Amino acid sequence: MIRISQSQKAKLEALWRSMSAEQRTALLATAKAGKDTDASAAQLFEVLSTVDEATRDPAGELAKPYVLAPLRNLVGDPSKVPPSRFRFSPEDLSKIWGWLARHLAKDMVETAKKCRKPESDPIWFEFRRTAGKALKDAIAAAERVPKDMTALMKRFGGGDAKGMLVDAASLLTHCEEISTAMKTLPDKIVELDPDLVEQIREMHESLSEETPEAALWVLLLTIGRLAEPWQIFRVVAKIGNREDDLVVSKTDLAAVGDAILADTGFFASKLKQPPQTLEEAKASAHVFDQFVAHSNGMTSEFGIRKAGRWGQVLFSLRAEASSNVEKTLNKIPLALDNGLPEPRRGRSGRIIPAQLPSEAAIDKAEGLLFFLNSCREHTNAAAIASTHKRILDVCEKRMTDAGALLVDLVASSEGQNRTTAQDGLEITARLMESGGMVEPANLLRRRGLAAAA
């Protein structure tokens, strides 16, 4: 150990404080990189680490996010985040921390608040393991006394509160093993190639020998890094040594399939309400894309038997989604009644203009037509092909006919009547574009300009 005088220490600390955080981090990293092979670098790292700790503020309120860091990637809003990426709300974390601080692990919490080590220091793994054990012990104690379990569920909002706490305890208890494994994987996995599949399989096998819980969490957390989450079945097939769900759905690996299935249900449920605006329609189209991708992805990556546990749920979700999308499509003609300025010919042959619709009615029609156009590539997969074609044909004819009459109205009108007809023509062109009729919309605008010349 290097000995330095108090005055030298004070000067070093003053110099250290004058540096930026980036400079301090870089110096520590450089010294750490060479400490195992260079005695001078080891001594430098020792001095810099001591100075860094001495000048660092105590964790204080940061102790909470530091200790609960293993839960961070699964915190979110369940109405916006798919189930595979959600397990805790911010309120759950606050309640867990409060329970630890007031009852379960008061000494640990106080020590953590006074700790000057950075979040990356191994000491935080110790704090997390202490928290995890405290939670496990508390849950086990409550299970032995029904009224205590009732009180515990009430404290955490009921529902699946017990499962949430069990997951929190597991993630904290096995934090180091999980963290070590996850650091070897890319933060974002665009394609789960054979090499990565084998790497994850080996990690799972290694962890399963001593910490099966950690092994399963590595798979579940990997889902959150996949651009196409259903590709996780490639790992499941390797681990289970099967290409279908006959046996796998009855093992611990079932949790992985359940997670992807829950995501599929999450997207299916969001198709219940027809979009009311163009922005909502864009969101609904994205949700529909995600539903079809998850649904098809499961069956393309793995053998999902129709009569099996996963298959029954999946095919039920497909039926529900198809029904909801059909209901949305069937609302489009009514939206055109209100949002499309359709002139009509009277008995004398004179064109009778329609009143211009409100912006809200136009926006709704625009949105539903956008959704109709976005559904094109999924019609067969979602079993809505006949409904989609029927509605599409009706809408395209109505917009084409309305456009033709509006061109004639522009040509035969003048003054305010012509201006109104031109506004109606532009609205019709907008609706055409939303429905994918881009070239007919451009042609309609050109015809309108020619008619007004």
Q: Is 369 exposed, middle or buried (0-12, 13-18, 19+ CB in 10 A)?
A: buried
Work out the pLDDT band at 75, boundaries 50, 70, 90: very high
Asked if 425 and 403 count as a contact pair (C-beta separation under 8 A), the reply is yes
Contacts of 393 (CB under 8 A, 6+ apart): none
3-state secondary structure of 303: strand
Work out the pLDDT band at 172, boundaries 50, 70, 90: very high
Task: Using a pLDDT cut of 90, give the percent of the chain over it.
Answer: 68
pLDDT value at residue 54: 66
pLDDT value at residue 245: 73
Work out the pLDDT band at 55, boundaries 50, 70, 90: low
- For the ranges 20-29, 49-58, 146-155, 316-325, the lowest mean pLDDT is seen at 49-58
pLDDT value at residue 390: 94
Question: How much is the CA Rg of the chain, to the nearest whole Å?
Answer: 31
Work out the pLDDT band at 35, boundaries 50, 70, 90: confident
What pTM did the predictor assign?
0.83
What digits encode the pLDDT tens for the residues 351-407?
888 899 999 999 999 999 999 999 988 888 778 899 999 999 999 999 999 999 999
- For the ranges 196-205, 236-245, 370-379, 413-422, the lowest mean pLDDT is seen at 236-245
H/E stretch holding 345 reads strand 344-345
Please choose, from the candidates 189, 48, 164, the residue with its C-alpha nearest in 3D space to the C-alpha of residue 99.
164
Asked if 436 and 392 count as a contact pair (C-beta separation under 8 A), the reply is no
Contacts of 394 (CB under 8 A, 6+ apart): 333
Work out the pLDDT band at 20, boundaries 50, 70, 90: confident
β pairing state of 351-352 and 344-345: antiparallel
Helix (H), strand (E) counts: the chain: 22, 2
Work out the pLDDT band at 4, boundaries 50, 70, 90: low
- Mean local confidence (pLDDT), 88-113: 95
pLDDT value at residue 309: 86
Between CA 212 and CA 108 the distance in angstroms is 26
Q: Is the pLDDT score of 175 beyond 70?
A: yes
Between CA 113 and CA 6 the distance in angstroms is 26
Between CA 143 and CA 124 the distance in angstroms is 29
Asked if 370 and 428 count as a contact pair (C-beta separation under 8 A), the reply is no
pLDDT value at residue 173: 97
Q: Residue holding tokens 């829950």?
A: 262
pLDDT value at residue 65: 95
Between CA 275 and CA 365 the distance in angstroms is 10
Cα 28 from chain centroid?
35
- For the ranges 121-130, 239-248, 383-392, 437-446, the lowest mean pLDDT is seen at 239-248
Mean pLDDT of the chain: 90
Q: Is the pLDDT score of 11 beyond 80?
A: no
Cα 100 from chain centroid?
29
Q: Is the pLDDT score of 36 beyond 90?
A: no
Q: Is the pLDDT score of 23 beyond 90?
A: no
Strand partners, 189: 226
Q: Is the pLDDT score of 5 beyond 90?
A: no
Asked if 256 and 232 count as a contact pair (C-beta separation under 8 A), the reply is yes
Strand partners, 345: 351
Between CA 133 and CA 124 the distance in angstroms is 14
Between CA 242 and CA 85 the distance in angstroms is 26
- Mean local confidence (pLDDT), 100-112: 95
- Mean local confidence (pLDDT), 309-337: 93
Q: Which residue has the higher pLDDT, 433 or 157?
A: 433
Please choose, from the candidates 168, 167, 158, 173, the residue with its C-alpha nearest in 3D space to the C-alpha of residue 210.
173
pLDDT value at residue 177: 96
Work out the pLDDT band at 433, boundaries 50, 70, 90: very high
